[in-house]
Amino acid sequence: MAQDAKKGFLLYYDYRKHLALLSDEDRGKLLMALLNYGERGDIPEDLDGMAFMAFSFITGQMDRDAQKYADTCRKRSEAGKQGGRPKKETGKQDKAKKANGFSEKQTEAKKGDTEKETDTETETVTETDTDKGRESSTPYPLKGGQQDPVPYSKIVELYHAICISYPKLRAVEGNREKQIAARWKKYKTLDAFRELFEKAEASDFLKGENDRAWTADFDWLIRPTNMSKVLEGKYDGSTKPKTGTAQSQTGGKPSTMDVLAGIIADEEGGGVFD
């Protein structure tokens, strides 16, 4: 290994314990052999035994160091051809970024707006959202460190204890978590959820005794319009929802007005069979 551009090689302190086993004469011969190898690539003929073994592992490390040095020189050369390190942005570029909406204050403001939007009452909800994604490791996440924490666990425990006729929940995440938080922000009491679940369990209509054999579930119950209707008693104990006098005048069958009202409610996200 001839060292063309490099004017020396490295000797490591780790070699001391190995060189201590050699005589002074062998150490002298080894040093000259290493210099000759590093400068011209010569292999010595006058080393034997332990001296040659030391020469072998030391030159192996020398070769690795030389290769690493060559790689570093090559990378630096390539970087130099490409213009070196990227230049720092000038003050004018920084001002241009801020003018185009990249300032830190604007970013923080956008974050604040996004967080506020999640708490609004008018949400667009799809039932399939609650089934997407993987299950969370904790079925009912607790939100700590907030001024008014949402009692997810207690709400779910109430649902499981009261609504024994409805499907059980396996996870609270995504849109389901947002809906619970939004309803809690409005009602701010577990009594409202307890009343909701008690009315739902007492309602034959919501438990499937309807002309479509449709059954409500947790996600349907906590939608804003649906929760209000259940609490108002629209589905109390009857096999048909209480939609007004038109239905009773047609012998229990939905009237044209009831059907139209249902279609409009469906479009608004609050239909009976959402």
Per-residue 3-state assignment (H helix, E strand, C coil) for the chain: CCCCCCCCCCCCHHHHHHHCCCCHHHHHHHHHHHHHHHHHCCCCCCCCCHHHHHHHHHHHHHHHHHHHHHHHHHHHHHHHHCCCCCCCCCHHHHHHHHHCCCCHHHHHHHHHHHHHHCCCCCCCCCHHHHHCCCCCCCCCCCCCCCCCCCCHHHHHHHHHHHCCCCCCCCCCCHHHHHHHHHHHHHHCCHHHHHHHHHHHHHCCCCCCCCCCCCCCCHHHHCCHHHHHHHHCCCCCCCCCCCCCHHHHCCCCCCCHHHHHHHHHHHHCCCCCCC
In the structure encoding, which two tokens stand for residue 89, read together?
A: 């942005």
Confidence of residue 223 (pLDDT cuts 50, 70, 90): very high
Measured at the alpha carbon of residue 178, what is the angle toward residues 134 and 146, in degrees to the nearest 5?
A: 105
Round to whole Å and give the CA distance between 229 and 240: 13
Q: pTM of the prediction?
A: 0.40
Q: What are phi and psi of 45, to 5 degrees?
A: -110, -10
Among the residue ranges 10-24, 29-43, 204-218, 246-260, the one predicted with the least confidence is 246-260
**Residues of the chain with pLDDT > 70: what percent?**
60
Terminal C-alpha separation, the chain:
80
Q: Please tell me the distance from the alpha carbon of residue 210 to that of residue 213, in angstroms, as a whole number.
A: 5
Q: Which token pair is 30?
A: 């080894």
**What is the average pLDDT score of the chain?**
74
123 vs 177: CA distance, rounded Å = 13
Q: Could you read off the pLDDT of 119-172 as tens digits, one per residue?
A: 444 444 444 444 443 344 344 454 444 445 999 999 999 999 999 999 999 999
Q: Is the pLDDT of residue 270 over 90?
A: no
